Amino acid sequence: MAPSKGMEDKDNPAIVFSCETKDWPSFKDAIQMRADKHDTTWLFEGGRSLAEFFARQIKEKTGTKTTRAKALEREVAKNDSNHVPTSVDAYTVAALKEWDKDIATGLLLSLNKNRLTELGSNFTDYKKLGFRDEDALKKAHKSIDLKYLRKLNRMAARLLHDAVFESSSKMETAAQTKLNGILRNSEVSQILRSAVNEDEKWLAQPWKIHTLQIWAKMYHKYEGMTDMLTGTMMEELANIITCVTGDARHRRTLYEADQDFEHFGKTLIANFKDTATLWEFLRASLRQCHIHKLSKVGKDKAAWAKADEYLTNLMDSDTVLTLENTDEAIKRAP
């Protein structure tokens, strides 16, 4: 099937994602199958690879001095903290070009296939196509390539957006709110309206393609540390422990609880270099959980709210909490 036909047509049933962690694997597989069918595997593989780039930053920033130095070299601002940005603009072009090697071939093949569809089998021969010279053909190729990438970016954004929001009820679920910042923002609105005007860079810097970044952030959220960094980790762990016999409305089977715990463990192992740094993060997360609870009850809740606000600001910026962070927070609640 030619890549220009689109990712949504009568032969493709709508993909729906509940945004629940348990449904992520099947949703991810459905997206992969759709991408394979339409020769757009490189786009979603690129997003997955970019998410792994972010995961490596977390692992190396929380590792040894040597690995931390390597991670800082990739960043423009060289922020010597546990903050790991998920914006490509925060990283050097050199670091992203190194990452880009994984998708460059797939992108070129996809572009060539589209050129073949648009111009025919002589798409590399300027004379047979009636162009003045090689430069004129290159300009035509660039125009065709950008038109294809704009269309692909728009259709992939629509596919992901509608999978989450289009088929849902009017009442937004708690799980859906997790993706508001990724799929319900001005950038996505511009993509869906064909109002994107930064596509000139896409051919040389494919990491700038918006939908590739969107998929990377979704992947990072469900397979990376994002949720754990927002202060929900200890609550999620407590839910896994009690969900088999707890509130009937949220009860899970033994098998489902085991799967959740397995995913929990794999995420932690994938994002930390060693047990010592992992254990420090777990201690810091437990402290954060207790501070948050203390900010809601008791006579000292106003004081603890200052500590909670300090930690919340750190976590909102994708900072992996340390014991030093929590020590500083506790000082703010005399």
Helix 134-161 vs helix 41-61: crossing angle, to nearest 10? 70
62 and 147 together in one domain: yes
Are the CB atoms for 163 and 183 separated by under 8 Å? Answer: no
pLDDT at 317 > cutoff 90? no
261 and 278 together in one domain: yes
Give the chain's count of helices (H) and strands (E).
16, 0
Residue carrying the six token digits 């005007």? 197
Q: What is the domain range of residue 72? A: 3-222
d(CA 21, CA 95): 30
Rounded to a whole number of angstroms, the CA Rg of the chain reads 23
237 and 295 together in one domain: yes
Are the CB atoms for 203 and 292 separated by under 8 Å? Answer: no
Maximum distance among all Cα pairs of the chain, rounded to whole angstroms: 83
Residue after which a domain boundary falls, among 222, 256, 272: 222
pLDDT of residue 225: 65
Beta bridge partners of 83: 319
33 and 159 together in one domain: yes
d(CA 314, CA 322): 11
Residue carrying the six token digits 């106003």? 302
pLDDT of residue 237: 84
- Count of all residues that appear for the chain in the document: 334
pLDDT of residue 169: 58
SS3 319: strand
The pLDDT of 159-181, averaged and rounded, is 81
**For the range 65-70, what are the long-range contacts, defined as Cβ-Cβ under 8 Å and sequence gap of 24 or more?**
67/273
pLDDT at 21 > cutoff 90? no
139 and 273 together in one domain: no
How many other CB atoms are found less than 10 A from the CB of residue 2? 12
The better pLDDT of the pair 248, 35 is held by: 35
216 and 246 together in one domain: no
pLDDT of residue 1: 33
Task: State which of 96-100, 137-141, 230-234 shows the largest mean pLDDT.
Answer: 137-141
pLDDT of residue 131: 93
99 and 217 together in one domain: yes
245 and 113 together in one domain: no
d(CA 292, CA 329): 11
The pLDDT of 305-327, averaged and rounded, is 83
Mean pLDDT for all residues in the chain: 85
pLDDT at 10 > cutoff 60? no
Cβ burial of 129 (10 Å; 0-12, 13-18, 19+) is middle
Structure-derived torsion over alpha carbons of residues 136, 138, 139, 144, reported in degrees to the nearest 10: 130
Q: pLDDT band at 8, cuts 50/70/90?
A: low
Are the CB atoms for 67 and 277 separated by under 8 Å? Answer: no
**Mean pLDDT lowest among 78-87, 128-137, 279-288, 298-307:** 78-87
146 and 265 together in one domain: no
pLDDT of residue 155: 92
Are the CB atoms for 53 and 290 separated by under 8 Å? Answer: no
Name the DSSP class of 311. H
The pLDDT of 293-306, averaged and rounded, is 89
Domain count, the chain: 2
d(CA 285, CA 291): 10
Residue after which a domain boundary falls, among 186, 205, 222: 222
Name, in order, each residue with C-beta under 8 angstroms of 193's C-beta and a sequence gap of 6 or more: none
286 and 153 together in one domain: no
42 and 105 together in one domain: yes
d(CA 199, CA 150): 7
CA nearest to 306, candidates 326, 286, 330? 330
d(CA 116, CA 240): 52
Residue after which a domain boundary falls, among 222, 254, 287: 222
Residue carrying the six token digits 């996505």? 188
The pLDDT of 223-238, averaged and rounded, is 71
14 and 131 together in one domain: yes
**Mean pLDDT lowest among 70-79, 101-110, 134-143, 193-202:** 193-202
Global pTM reads 0.77
